[in-house]
Structure 1
Amino acid sequence: MGEEGKYCYSGGLDGSIRCWKSPDLNVDPYDNYDQGVESAVLLGHEDSVWDLAYSSNLKRLASCSADGTVRIWDAQSSTPCITVFNKEKEHGTPTSIAFGNVDPSQVVVSFDTGETVLYDLNTEQSIMVLEAQTKDGNQLINCVVSHPSQPISITAHENRTIRFMDNKTGKVIHSMVAHLDAVTCLTTDPKGSYLISGSHDCSVRLWMLDNRTCVQEITAHRKKHDEAIHDVAFHPSQPLIASAGADSLAKIFI
């Protein structure tokens, strides 16, 4: 979602990013498609777009793709692509991206090699590679999020772990086996008190961010083709969480 919910952005298998004007809430969902809803198409990626992130502070959109590149866009500009990182796939293929909450000029990117890289949008250079994943098990990182109030990156791993890394030193602060299967998705609540994780073990887990302990577990979805939960989200203002699963269901929990 873009600024104040006026726009939303989607990335596709065709490599394009599409910008959409949020329709009026009173619109008939079964009405004919209004072509005016699509405001722009951002072209540049040569393969599937895996993840998008939007910064309200910078009014910038960030994307990562199977073509190996990480791109920063100004969606309202006639030349939207501002910066391209990882052109030579030096860190592998990016899987997830997030803007820093403490320093919005930084963006953190996770890769299928197990690396997590911090980039500076002002200098258009990489700042550092955060401490690499240990060599045991699958090194793929499925998701990265920024801590809401501290310079910390949090990553979800295929080998069932969640890791907390210091953006200033690059060192791992905490690593824990968080699920019985791959951890696929993460999100933090708007107030910065909780972390939610989803996994292919069919569970959604709620964690206290300050002491990193699990306070609630919800069995949310059924497995399909060895996959279960693909995404989780907090409501921006109400005590609600949502999950989306491979079983084609989206669920909302109080």
Structure 2
Amino acid sequence: MIAFLTPISTSAPHIYLSALPFAPSESILWKTACSPFPKVIKVSEGRMTEWPKPLKGHLRAIIGLVYSPDSRKLVSCSFDKTVRIWDAGTGMPVGEPLKGHIGGATSVACIAYSPDGRRFISGSDDGTVRIWDAGTRMPVGKPLTGHTGGVRRVAWSPNGQSIVSCSGSFDPTIRIRDAATGAPVGELLRGHLKAITSVAYSPNSRYIVSGSQDQTIRFWDAQQISSNGEYFM
């Protein structure tokens, strides 16, 4: 569609003629308009036959979504305490729902993929983080504990070496872990006064940034975390 940006912006009929070939072949739009305009371009590969349908499988509200790095899979988490994997091309579920957060969990709140796409992590209101094998859909090791409050957000470092999680109002802390072993790296990071609502890595994996209900953003040096878990800025 980007290739037709100029004609679409300068000529109203091009809005329809340039977009028409991308309409699914079984859609009412295509069947109605294809006859009057037989000379439009043809999509030779990858054209849909029908408009995408909503993906249904979770029993309660969906909280988090993430694409796999190769864009072939979609992973979702929900208030129904499960994680689901979907084929991003067909919209079909891959296997059964993943049930790893059960004890004390009211929801699976967040998910994140590893950079290589082989694993993903999930965080839950039960205060744990789970690592999953994306191929086998099996949990890797035991639940990772350490937070006393529910896990709100998780992130995987771009270099694939570490994962970070943050917790909510009863335990406004951040925990860094070794992605290979799940072992904690340093102490819990403390600095926010209220629930931590977001956490992310810098592209070079050196810094972590967190946001909180205390209306502040904190920066952390992931390579030089002090033993008492104090923030560096």
What residue is the counterpart of 2:20 in the other structure?
A: none
Contact kept in structure 2, 1:60 and 1:73, CA below 8 Å = yes
Contact kept in structure 1, 2:61 and 2:80, CA below 8 Å = yes
Contact kept in structure 2, 1:131 and 1:172, CA below 8 Å = no
What residue is the counterpart of 1:208 in the other structure?
A: 221
2:109 is equivalent to residue 95 of structure 1: yes
TM-score normalised by length of structure 1: 0.63
What residue is the counterpart of 1:70 in the other structure?
A: 83
Mapped partners of 1:186, 1:97: distance in 2: 12
TM-score normalised by length of structure 2: 0.68
2:179 alignment partner AA? N
1:123, distance to aligned residue in structure 2 (A): 1.6
Mapped partners of 1:173, 1:64: distance in 2: 26
Which ranges of structure 1 fall in alignment gaps of 5 or more residues? 1-5, 7-23, 28-35, 217-254
**Which of 184, 202, 206 pairs up with 1:189?**
202
Runs (4 or more) in structure 1 with deviation over 6 Å come to 24-27
Mapped partners of 2:173, 2:180: distance in 1: 22
1:166 alignment partner AA? D
1:111 alignment partner AA? S
Q: Between Structure 1 and Structure 2, which shows a larger proportion of strand residues? A: 1
Aligned-pair identity in percent equals: 25
Contact kept in structure 2, 1:130 and 1:170, CA below 8 Å = no
Which residues in structure 2 correspond to 1:1-254 (within 5 Å)? 39-57=52-70, 59-77=72-90, 80-83=92-95, 84-86=97-99, 89=102, 92=105, 93-101=107-115, 103-133=116-146, 138-158=148-168, 159-174=171-186, 175-212=188-225, 214=231, 216=233
1:60, distance to aligned residue in structure 2 (A): 1.2
Mapped partners of 1:152, 1:129: distance in 2: 17
Q: Cα deviation per residue 1:67-107 (whole Å; 9 max; x = unaligned)? A: 11100111211x52113201783572211100112x41111
Alpha-carbon RMSD:
2.8
1:51 alignment partner AA? G
The number of equivalent residue pairs is 181
1:207, distance to aligned residue in structure 2 (A): 2.4
Q: Residues 107 and 91 from structure 1, CA distance in 2 versus in 1: closer, same or farther, beyond 3 angstroms?
A: farther
* Structure exhibiting the larger radius of gyration computed from Cα positions: 2
SS at match of 1:57: coil
Which ranges of structure 2 fall in alignment gaps of 5 or more residues? 10-22, 24-50
Contact kept in structure 1, 2:190 and 2:231, CA below 8 Å = no
SS at match of 1:169: coil
1:154 alignment partner AA? V
Q: Residues 169 and 130 from structure 1, CA distance in 2 versus in 1: closer, same or farther, beyond 3 angstroms?
A: farther
Contact kept in structure 2, 1:73 and 1:81, CA below 8 Å = yes
1:190, distance to aligned residue in structure 2 (A): 2.8
Q: Cα deviation per residue 1:29-77 (whole Å; 9 max; x = unaligned)? A: xxxxxxx8x7441111111111111123252111100011100111211
